[in-house]
Amino acid sequence: MGTSQKRLQSVLKDMPYESIQDFIAILQPTFSLESFKRFGDPNNLTPGLRRFWIKKTAKGIDLAAAELKEFSGSNRDEDTLIQDILEFAQQYDTNAKLQAYVRRRVKEGQSARSTYERQKIKDVDTFVKKRIAYPTRRHL
């Protein structure tokens, strides 16, 4: 595993898991060329796709879809998951593109968490002001 992949893996812990694409980015399932030709369109085979997603010793896309279904808890059928994996791999066919996707999703997750935390702090401040700092008989 290269340095960029190690960095990518360390960042994944802050990523929100809201879509099947997020789970594909986490698992980064590799698959064999034969499997790609069987389930995908060989005309869509790019050098980046071949380098990043296709490995000689990898399992088939159907097994990767089963693993993805188990890992994500998705209720989609495996044929749909196979197509999701192929579309994601074709869209993010290089490590740099995948890292950009993950960075964007992590920032979105951190932003959402920050908004939640700000609201939570605001709620706590309101509670403290209304119930603790200025108690009334009704609240005691």
pLDDT in tens, 103-119: 888 777 767 666 666 66
* DSSP label at residue 38: H
| Residues across the chain | 140
Distance CA(89)–CA(35), nearest Å, equals 13
Please compute, for residue 26, the number of CA atoms within 13 A of its CA located in the half-sphere on the CB side: 19
pTM surpassing 0.95? no
Tell me if 102 sits within 8 A of 8, measured CB to CB: yes
For the stretch 71-86, pLDDT in tens is 878 888 889 999 999 9
Tell me if 93 sits within 8 A of 53, measured CB to CB: yes
Distance CA(75)–CA(61), nearest Å, equals 18
| Cβ-based neighbour number of residue 74 at 10 Å | 17
Distance CA(119)–CA(78), nearest Å, equals 39
